[in-house]
Amino acid sequence: MGLRDHDVVVLAQKIVSKSEGRLVSLASVTPSPRAVELGATVLKDPRLVELVLRESKEVLRAVPNVLIVEHRLGFVMANAGIDHSNVDGGEDDVLLLPADPDGSARRLRERFKEIAGVEVGIVINDSWGRAWRMGTTGAAIGVAGLPALVDMRGLPDLNGRILRVTEVAHADEIAAAASLLMGQSSEGQPVVIVRGFGPPARDGNGQELVRSRKMDLFR
């Protein structure tokens, strides 16, 4: 399938992290006293907990089998996005999120232009759970070449009423749609091409989707 201008290339976070060397062996990790104590609370390997702490700004929730943190990039997520699944290597190998997902997206976009001569959007897609809904869905952690958030405030609805609060998580919706094809287990489909959006309104980034602390109603 050839790329066209304005296609959106959605890539699974794991292949980006693997290509950037974000694989860590737990055997190389020495847990701190805090990680040992927290590991006993959440019933997780203290070496894994140590990596979570290193990748996080703050621990938000720690109960048996659940460790929710604010990632250093601002994402509120379980285990700082560190995962065992679909990771090549031994049982002790885990994969961290890309160090700079938006930077990764920009580099990928530039490289696709060099190789294919087309302007595409990039979405780096991770699988997230949600505090107020059941199940896992795709979420955009890195974005380039399209707006991650579309502000519709000031536009009329079908009846002419002016929208006051509507902002659309454009990149998250693309990521979630792509996840239907990528799957969540053994499907082996880490790249999806989304076509038909037309020229992007502007260039954006994944940080547009991070809710600031002052707007966070749950903390």
- Are residues 8 and 103 both part of a single domain? yes
The per-residue pLDDT for range 139-193, each reduced to its tens digit, is: 999 999 999 999 999 999 999 999 999 999 999 999 999 999 998 878 889 999 9
On whether residue 69 sits in a domain, the answer given is yes
Per-residue confidence (pLDDT) for residue 41, from 0 to 100: 97
* Domain span including residue 57: 23-96
Question: Residue 154 has what DSSP assignment?
Answer: T
- Are residues 109 and 186 both part of a single domain? yes
Inter-helix orientation angle 46-54/33-42, to 10°: 110
Per-residue confidence (pLDDT) for residue 153, from 0 to 100: 93
Catalogue the long-range contacts made by 16-22 (C-beta closer than 8 Å, 24 or more residues apart): 16/98, 16/101, 16/104, 16/108, 16/124, 16/142, 17/95, 17/96, 17/97, 17/98, 18/88, 18/95, 20/98, 20/99, 20/104, 22/95, 22/96, 22/97, 22/98, 22/99
- Are residues 9 and 66 both part of a single domain? no
- Are residues 107 and 43 both part of a single domain? no
- Are residues 10 and 30 both part of a single domain? no
On whether residue 35 sits in a domain, the answer given is yes
Residue 219 contacts residue 60 (beta carbons within 8 Å): yes
CATH number reported for the structural domain that contains residue 35 in this entry: 3.90.1660.10
| Coil/strand/helix, residue 213 | helix
Q: pLDDT higher for 215 or 12? A: 12
On whether residue 215 sits in a domain, the answer given is no
Per-residue confidence (pLDDT) for residue 183, from 0 to 100: 87
User: Strands 23-25, 93-95: parallel, antiparallel or unpaired by DSSP?
Assistant: antiparallel
From the list 101, 99, 97, the residue with the least C-alpha distance to 122 is: 101
36, 68, 96: which is the final residue of a domain? 96
The arithmetic mean of pLDDT across residues 29-56, rounded, is 97
- Are residues 74 and 155 both part of a single domain? no
Per-residue confidence (pLDDT) for residue 89, from 0 to 100: 72
Residues pairing with 148 in the sheet:
none
On whether residue 216 sits in a domain, the answer given is no
Q: How far apart are CA 94 and CA 85, in angstroms?
A: 8
The per-residue pLDDT for range 77-133, each reduced to its tens digit, is: 999 999 888 787 778 899 999 999 999 999 999 999 999 999 999 999 999 998 889
Q: Which residues contact 157 (CB under 8 A, 6 or more apart)?
A: 163
How many structural domains is the chain composed of? 2
Per-residue confidence (pLDDT) for residue 23, from 0 to 100: 95
Residue 140 Cα distances to 27, 62, 124, angstroms: 30, 25, 6
Q: pLDDT higher for 199 or 149? A: 149
- Are residues 92 and 144 both part of a single domain? no
**Residue 178: how many CB atoms within 10 A of its CB?**
23
- Are residues 89 and 132 both part of a single domain? no
Residue 215 Cα distances to 118, 119, 165, 210, angstroms: 38, 34, 13, 10
CATH number reported for the structural domain that contains residue 152 in this entry: 3.30.1330.100
Question: Residue 166 has what DSSP assignment?
Answer: -
